[in-house]
Amino acid sequence: MAERRVRVETKVGLHARPAALFVQAATRTPLDVTVAKPGKDPVNAKSILSVLGLDAQQGEEIVIEAEGDGADALLDELAGLVTEKSA
Amino acid sequence: MPDALRGTGVSPGVAAGPVRSISGTVPEPPAGERHAGDAAAEGARALAALEAVGLDLDERGARAGGEARDVLAAQAMMARDPGLADLVVSKIDDGVSAPRAVYEAFGVFRATLAGAGEYMAARVADLDDIRDRVVAVLLGVPAPGVPDSDEPFVLVARDLAPADTALLDPAKVLAFVTRDGGPTSHTAILARAMGVPAVVACSGCMDLPDGTVVLVDGASGEVHPDPADEEIATARAAAEARAAALDAATGPGATADGHRIPLLANVGGPKDVEAALARGAEGVGLFRTEFLFLGRTTAPSEEEQEAAYRAVLEAFPSVVVRTLDAGADKPLAFLPPPGDEPNPALGERGLRLFQNYPEVLTGQLRALARAAEGLDVELNVMAPMVADAAETRDFVAACRAAGLPRVGIMIEIPSAALRAADLATEADFFSLGTNDLAQYTFAADRQIGALARFQDAWQPALLDLVAMAAEAAAEVGKSCGVCGEAAGDPALACVLTGLGVTSLSMSAPSLPHVRAALAAHTLDQCRHAAEAARQATDAVGARTAARAELPSL
């Protein structure tokens, strides 16, 4: 099980366009991917409604987990999407 | 004939035609409804409906293009959400019918989102819309949305969102009537842009059955169901007479006795220049500059700004540019996020924002000064959201330092109107923003439909503030224009003139109406109408009293 713990840098948090890009990236792979706030129950990273329901704001930490071939590359991509300051 | 319904007229004109409504009332599948027993088939039916709605939303987005495409693509993702699908299937496995399972599954996510802060609460309405579409597919009933119709119709709805109207065929819509919304709602702005009548805040309109012929008067706000043929004929004749008067009235704005009131256009960028010129705008009274800044991850360069400003400046002899008006409700992506503001309308917006980011303002002022170089244009620059003399002084100083000769302020906070005499000695001109002035005078958020009546610019308290500002400006020989929606209401335009306002700026389609109304009345008549309106105790009384003094309206 691979894991990344990142701080959300996007201005609107994990909402709106960043959330859509995040879910689209997760959906492109066959892997099981979850996202959670630290210490909270993880949710399916391919579910836009679950991801929005996390309500992760700018400056908050999230934990992304994935399992299987290519998990590390996927996690890097997902982490990149929420740490791009410009988005 | 049944009683007329009354709302707020927000786009003038008269139209009659059959009602087509966006009902939005897909029935709730009854609680406890069970399927016949084949869970696999029922589950497949539900998943197919979710996918069908996702496809439909994608298609509508592709056809609409632009911003609507992103909005609708995000909604399509929600319809195809795997977490939602799992929940629907698990409820169906428990025996729940497909429509009820969909309804309940959406309810689970709805509760989560509604609890997840203000931004997400707004997405709940989107989620309800998607749910209704899926349930409609499963029940075989029409989906909510703008109806298809071969004949032109009067569109009736609770309210209209940009996604509803993205695919509207302008040739088919005779008028808009909505139950919610105010003079600055999406419906009102769209109707004025299309040049069709609109009535908002019209309670009871949702009870009009589809196909009922209604007569809509976008000036008085009246909606008559089942009008007699003579009434339609009378209204049409009146509308034609007005249209003839519009054609007859050309040239610069003036009262019947020749008192000049320059008629100017509100523009939101170079794209609006053509319409303003076509309707005979004598200049631009409000050039909003937000289009250059909103939705950008990096600030626009001064060169880019200069080119955009020049495109407007070179088209008119006189232009009033409003510096950037952003805030927590219209945040700028290239600046750090604003602090948490429970009430953005009262927060660090407009001129106040530049306390923290003076370089954004000075860059804009430099770009404006350069854009006007070599052009034969009177460039006026004004600041939004000015509260007092100190802010006025600071802004004037910043503009002078950039080499800008004509510097004004918007009067949209009551304190600025109350102490207009102080501000008039600092600034070269005033421009009254009646929309925000109403919001701040009546402590009524202009985004809240239930408070729409406070956006009515006919309210005597608002007219008093306009009079104070206009008198203070006149006292020291300075100009005082109006650039809010009020300026585009023909009767109100006469009243504003009577109050001492010196120019009127409005969206382009209103220009001919206002030109004709002014040309039909003398300055004395306008003054009497203004006095009569200020003697009333409410907006309806003010409008009635003023109209009685304006025989040609």
What gap in Å lies between CA B492 and CA B487, rounded to an integer? Answer: 7
Confidence of residue B429 (pLDDT cuts 50, 70, 90): very high
Query: What mean pLDDT comes out for the span A12-30?
Result: 89
Alpha helices in B249-388 (DSSP H): 273-278, 302-313, 358-372
Cβ pair A52:B117 closer than 8 A = no
The reply to whether residue B81 touches residue A48, judged by beta carbons under 8 angstroms, is: yes
**Structure tokens, B88:** 């629907």
Question: Shortest CB distance from A15 goes to which of B77, B119, B331?
Answer: B119
The mean pLDDT of chain B is 89
Q: Which of A12, A44, A49 sits opposite B109 (nearest CB)?
A: A49
Which residues 6+ apart lie within 8 Å of A12 measured at CB? Answer: A18, A58, B119
Identify residues of A whose CB sits under 8 angstroms from chain B CBs. Answer: 11-12, 15-17, 20, 23-24, 43-44, 46-50, 52-55, 57-58, 86-87
With a cut of 80, say whether residue B162 has pLDDT above it: no
CA distances from B92 to B31, B86, B136, B353 (A): 13, 10, 18, 53
Euclidean distance between CA atoms B396 and B440, whole angstroms: 24
Cβ–Cβ contact B298 with A under 8 A: yes
Chain A nearest-CA distance from B83, in A, is 5
Are A48 and B78 within 8 A, CB to CB? yes
Q: d(Cα B384, Cα B348) in Å, to the nearest integer?
A: 12
What percentage of residues in chain B have a pLDDT greater than 70?
94
Domains for chain B: give ranges and CATH numbers: 5-23+146-231 (3.50.30.10), 39-139 (1.10.274.10), 257-522 (3.20.20.60)
B274 band by pLDDT with thresholds 50, 70 and 90: confident
DSSP string for residues in B499-516: HT--EEEE-GGGHHHHHH
B67 touches chain A (CB under 8 A): no
| Beta strands per DSSP E along B388-433 | 406-411, 429-432
CB of B79 closer than 8 Å to CB of B55 = no
Nearest to B117 among A24, A48, A55 (CB): A55
* Range among B49-63, B118-132, B148-162, B533-547 rated most confident: B533-547
The one catalytic residue in A4, A13, A15, A36 is A15
Among B75, B81, B127, most A C-beta atoms within 10 A, so best to mutate, is: B81
Looking at chain A, which residue has its C-alpha nearest residue B336?
A11
What percentage of chain A carries pLDDT values higher than 70?
97
Which candidate from B82, B120, B123 shows the least CB-CB separation from A46?
B82
* Pairwise CB contact (< 8 Å): B331 & A55: no
pLDDT value for B184: 66
Instruction: Determine the average pLDDT of the residues in B306-325.
Output: 95
Closest-approach residue (CA) in chain B for A58: B337
pLDDT of residue B252: 92
CA atoms within 13 Å, Cβ hemisphere of B538: 3
Is residue B483 annotated as part of the catalytic site, yes or no?
yes
Residues B180, B3 contacting (CB under 8 angstroms) = no
Q: In B402-522, which residue ranges form alpha helices assigned H by DSSP?
A: 414-418, 420-426, 434-441, 460-475, 490-499, 511-519
* Residue of B395, B268, B379 lying closest to B320 (CA atoms): B379
| Chain B residues touching A23 at Cβ < 8 A | 77
What span, in angstroms and rounded, lies between the C-alpha atoms of B489 and B493? 6
Instruction: Establish if B339 touches chain A: CB-CB under 8 angstroms.
Output: no
Mean pLDDT of A68-83: 92
Beta carbons within 10 angstroms of residue B231's beta carbon: 14
Instruction: Identify the residue with better confidence: B163 or B95.
Output: B95
What pLDDT is recorded for position B344?
A: 82
Contact call for residues A52 and B123 (beta carbons, < 8 A): yes
Eight-class DSSP state of B96: B
Within 8 A of B81 by CB-CB distance, chain A residues are 47-50
* Residue position matching structure tokens 């602090």: B339
Query: Across residues A12-29, what is the average pLDDT?
Result: 89
Both structure tokens of B345: 């309308």
Question: Which domains are delineated in chain A?
Answer: 2-83 (3.30.1340.10)
- The confidence score (pLDDT) of residue B231 equals 86
Better-predicted residue by pLDDT, B368 or B278 = B368
pLDDT band at residue B61 using 50, 70 and 90 as cut-offs: confident
Write out pLDDT tens, residues B236-253.
Answer: 787 777 767 777 777 899
Whether residue A50 and residue B331 make contact (CB cut-off 8 A), yes or no, is: no
Tell me if B444 sits within 8 A of B435, measured CB to CB: no
Looking at residue B533, its pLDDT comes to 97
CB of B84 less than 8 A from some CB of A: yes
In three-state secondary structure terms, B151 is coil
| Residue A29 distance to chain B (closest CA, Å) | 14
CA distance B476 to B286: 23
Q: Is B118 exposed, middle or buried (0-12, 13-18, 19+ CB in 10 A)?
A: exposed
Q: Pick the closest to residue B192 from B490, B497, B432 (CA basis).
A: B490
Please indicate whether, in this complex, the C-beta atoms of B120 and A52 are within 8 angstroms of each other: yes
- Using the predicted structure, report yes or no on whether residue B362 has a pLDDT greater than 80: yes
Helix (H, G, I), strand (E, B) or coil at B537: coil
* A-B Cβ pairs (cutoff 8 Å, strict): 57
Count of CB atoms within 10 A of residue A2's CB? 17
Q: What is the pLDDT of residue A86?
A: 45
Separation of alpha carbons B240 and B429, rounded Å = 38
Chain A residues within an 8 Å CB radius of B127: 49
Pick the catalytic residue: B399, B480, B483, B526? Answer: B483
Contact B120 A43 (CB under 8 A): no
pLDDT-above-90 percentage for chain B: 58
- ipTM for this model: 0.91
CA B541 to chain centre: 25
Per-residue pLDDT tens over the stretch B216-228: 998 778 999 999 9
User: Does pLDDT of A87 surpass 50?
Assistant: no
Q: Is A15 labeled as catalytic in the residue annotation? A: yes
DSSP B315: T
Residues B460-486 have pLDDT tens digits of 999 999 999 999 999 999 999 999 889
Q: Which of A20, A54, A87 sits opposite B74 (nearest CB)?
A: A20
Q: Does residue B167 or residue B270 have the better pLDDT?
A: B270
What whole-number distance in Å separates Cα of residue B229 and Cα of residue B224? 12
pLDDT in tens, B484-518: 889 999 999 999 999 999 999 998 888 988 999 99
A59: left (phi over 0), alpha (psi -120 to 50) or beta: left
pLDDT over 60 at B133, yes or no: yes
Other C-beta atoms closer than 10 Å to the C-beta of B43 total 20
pLDDT beyond 70 at B352:
yes
